[in-house]
Amino acid sequence: MNAPVSGQVNGLEQREGEVFDLGYRHYDGPRGGRGKAFMAVYDDGIRSVLGLGRGVAAKMMCGISGLLVLGPAIFIISVAGFMSSFGGETDQIPLPKHEDYYGLTFIILLLFAAIVGPALLSPDKRNSVLPLYAVRPLKSLDYAIARWLAFFTFAMAFTIVPQALLYLSFVLSDDSPWGYIKDNGRDLWAIFAIGLILAAFMTSLALAAASLTSRRAFASAGVIAFVFITAAIGGFGGEILTSDQDRQEHAAGASSSTGNHGDEEVQAPDGDAAHYIHLLILPDTMLAGVSSWTFGDRTHFPVSPWYNAMTIAAVIAGAFGTMVFRYRKFGG
């Protein structure tokens, strides 16, 4: 067989592939500005979370987190499917509902954010890559926000996709799917709203930690420490205040208020400091509070959900602000 057309030039042998490698050439095509640069940083953030072009360990990290987050949904769906295929009444088994699901995956989401999130900011600092961004057509904040959005995209997917699957399975396994949607339409926006808030919460915490250190491991530890230490303060603080209060109440011969009667106004007099310090237990505040606000009156939390919302909003704003402050400009 003869050499392909391009395989031989003037009788000189060329190596495979060389034909298309023209070496350096001038570029006359379009040159984008900040918008294109922003998208490039965003795309690279997505690739970095997925571990594309970055070795096996990075790919595994994302894959494992994804499976862990989806796992419970798949399990619930299979159980429900199994039951209904035997003509069983799915309503009778206590399958987790939407609002329960976050409790199952919160810790996985938190670990995912803590472990993978900092990869979007810390290594570029550690490896001194930032000056290369500084001399390109984008601003320091463009870079940070594009990275934030890249991780936010995954956090959203990881909170919403399993819930959407669950919803779909509830719809399909219901005797009257249309009826289910009509009765539970509110759940859809609740899933979206909580996904948004939870994702913003995780992303902001992870990227704030990453903006403070060039060591990924420190940032990861920082995220987890922040959640656990605030929770510990909330827990112990609540304990101390509650027992003080109990003693006073016993002394006064009053009956203590014990949880879920369904009427928040009665249960949570505004002066009850223990309930406020409990807000520091961010997973509870996030999950119980926000889901009671969005899913309606199905879960119970002692103080008005507005306090939960405000607490979470404050954490998100504080964390996001930290990152913005750290990336107000490149270099010194």
The answer to whether 59 touches 50, Cβ cutoff 8 Å, is yes
**Minimum gap (Å) between residue 66 Cβ and other proteins:** 20
**Minimum gap (Å) between residue 329 Cβ and other proteins:** 9
Q: Name which of 295 and 327 has its Cβ closer to other proteins.
A: 327
Q: Name which of 112 and 133 has its Cβ closer to other proteins.
A: 133
Q: Name which of 97 and 139 has its Cβ closer to other proteins.
A: 139
- Interacting residues with other proteins (CB under 8 A): 21-27, 29-34, 36-37, 39-41, 43-44, 47, 53-55, 58, 123-124, 127-129, 131-139, 330-332
Q: Compute the distance between CA of residue 152 and CA of residue 200 in angstroms, rounded to an integer.
A: 6
- Tell me which residue has tokens 């294109």: 36
Q: Name which of 96 and 123 has its Cβ closer to other proteins.
A: 123
**Cβ contacts of 162 within 8 Å, gap of 6 or more:** 69, 70, 72, 73, 101, 105
Other CB atoms within a 10 A radius of the CB of residue 192 amount to 16
**Minimum gap (Å) between residue 320 Cβ and other proteins:** 23
* Token digits of residue 302: 């002692």
Q: 268-278 burial by CB neighbour count: b if 16+ within 10 A, else e?
A: beeebebbbbb
**Minimum gap (Å) between residue 126 Cβ and other proteins:** 9
Q: Is the dihedral of CA 40, 45, 50, 54 positive or negative?
A: positive
For residue 309, count CB atoms less than 10 angstroms from its CB and return exposed for 0-12, middle for 13-18, buried for 19 or more: middle
Q: Name which of 102 and 148 has its Cβ closer to other proteins.
A: 148
**Minimum gap (Å) between residue 25 Cβ and other proteins:** 6
Q: Name which of 131 and 177 has its Cβ closer to other proteins.
A: 131
**Minimum gap (Å) between residue 152 Cβ and other proteins:** 20
